[in-house]
A and B are shown apart, each in its own frame.
Chain A
């Protein structure tokens, strides 16, 4: 019998249920996160118009660079200020 040593991190993924989606946006604050990809602002500006036009409060955020995860202070700021976040993932 051959025994080998596990080359992986020996971790098993944990599953977390997604948050329940809100039935409606009225009365909620929506964060729009620009991840700094080119033309992401085109998409988010249009969403901003549509949401604001429906009387929904919108707050805008931007990652300093597309190459790295959002800094912790930015994530904490969004958690404290909005009910949900929309981001554009790619150009």
Chain B
């Protein structure tokens, strides 16, 4: 693409106007006045016949001149001298126009001041197109051109860039709009993306976020999630390469949840909310496209789980009496953050009769003890998603989250007699050295609680983890969301 050539008068006055601006209409007689008193070059953004009072007006409907001059408001009046800008004003302000033009007695019949209107070259879409036209995108990713008759959705499938569902084609315009969602430099490196340990930049995150269907305002959440995933403590390579079911589960805390309308209530872990759906999907696409993590290649999952398309939800902080999950990882309440947990599927806990915290905790513990196998302890880390009607029982009894966790750990201490090979008629289990001892289902600190879900239903859910949980495997990681 050839960059447009823009030639500006080296000396004299320049005005940029549009017809669809009452202040520009107002100043049309002033422009005629300036024309008569030494000259002014007038560029018109929308209607080349405007202003009729200036016969030599120049058509800038391409907005090339407006872009080159960096016009933000119309009308703008500029004085140039020796090929450089010497003075500028915008809107209508008689004193300012007289200062810039050096001509006195301008528009005496007009009110002294009127604000201008937004310039067309800054309108969404136009601004991105102009930066593309002038080669000022700041983007460094390779451009892939599809043929005229090629269906871009199909062309992207053929290149292996999708998770199996169609993606939004990441055109430069869309990617630039996505990058407007962050103040971070597109070239900033976030780290090495597993499994291929490929350098991951903010720009590549934005490209994949476009493909996932994200809005620009989701990008800071995607970036925080990616930073968490890339933390060596999360062990993304192992999470991907394992034969087990896990993949990153994203839990969002803080004000960003409501700012981008995430779902933390009814069907929070289900379909239908754009932010929930696309943020999780973006992370998966990044692992696939940048990291090179593909199923039946480095991803050796035996079954996988549906969350490998997307698995992201928000905590219902407003409806909870407990401290948010992010505070468990040192992030203050009220600060937006993403926690990433290597988890799989969802195992429902149904208890519609317990009305005491003791009974409900026992009920939950029995479900927790079934993760992976009733014969394995410790099995893995787990994230328990407690729904409102279950939390109510604990709230009414004054049980904090810490109290519930303490109780669950106590209840998940399992006698070796239940875990030994052959117990319960099951060959899975441990050797006779466990007899006479107990083992806990979870490592210390390996059980987490988050609050989400709709108001009806005496249910909760368990997101099981990876058998290599904890320090020997994957630790949950939390990152603050930055603008």
Contact = CB atoms under 8 A, between A and B. Distances in A.
B143 A4 contact: yes
Interface string A58-91: 0000001111110000000000000000000010
Nearest to B208: A7
Interface in A1-35: 1-11
Contacts of B285: 7
The listed residue with most B CB atoms (<10 A of its CB), out of A5, A6, A68, is A5
B290 A8 contact: yes
A66 B145 CA distance: 43
Interface string B126-164: 000000000000010111111110101000100001000
Contact of A65 (B146, B169, B291, B472): B472
B170 A11 contact: no
Nearest to B241: A67
B292 to A, nearest CB: 7
B171 interface: yes
Interface string A18-59: 000000000000000000000000000000000000000000
Given A65-B473, A67-B473, A8 B172 contact: no
A9 B468 contact: no
Contact of B169 (A2, A8, A10, A68): A2
A67 B241 CA distance: 9
A50 B115 CA distance: 90
Contacts of A11: 196, 198
B144 A9 contact: no
Contacts of B474: 67
A9 B235 CA distance: 20
A9 B150 CA distance: 24
Nearest to B147: A1
A8 B292 CA distance: 8
A68 B197 CA distance: 13
Contact of A5 (B172, B237, B468): B172
B283 interface: no
A9 B292 contact: yes
B109 to A, nearest CB: 51
A68 B237 CA distance: 7
B479 interface: no
B199 A6 contact: no
B321 interface: no
Contact of B161 (A7, A65, A69): A7
A3 B171 contact: yes
A68 B144 CA distance: 35
Contacts of B472: 64-67
B249 to A, nearest CB: 17
Given A65-B468, A65-B473, A5 B139 contact: yes
A5 B170 CA distance: 6
A2 B174 CA distance: 12
B369 to A, nearest CB: 21
Contacts of A8: 161, 289-290, 292
A7 B242 CA distance: 25
A1 B171 CA distance: 11
B374 interface: no
Given A11-B196, A64-B472, A66-B468, A6 B142 contact: yes
A68 B170 contact: no
A84 B211 CA distance: 45
Contacts of A10: 141-142
A6 B142 CA distance: 5
A68 B194 CA distance: 12
B325 interface: no
A4 B171 contact: yes
Contact of A1 (B142, B145, B289): B145
Interface string B265-293: 00000000000000000000100011110
Contacts of B175: 5
Interface string B166-191: 00011110010000000000000000
Contact of A68 (B145, B204, B207, B238): B238
Contacts of B156: 4
A4 B170 contact: yes
Contact of A9 (B143, B148, B290): B290
A39 to B, nearest CB: 12
Contacts of B139: 5
7 contacts: A4-B156, A5-B172, A6-B144, A8-B161, A9-B198, A65-B473, A66-B468
Given A8-B292, A10-B142, 16 more contacts: A2-B171, A3-B172, A4-B143, A4-B152, A4-B171, A5-B143, A7-B170, A7-B289, A8-B161, A9-B198, A11-B196, A65-B468, A65-B473, A66-B238, A67-B472, A67-B473
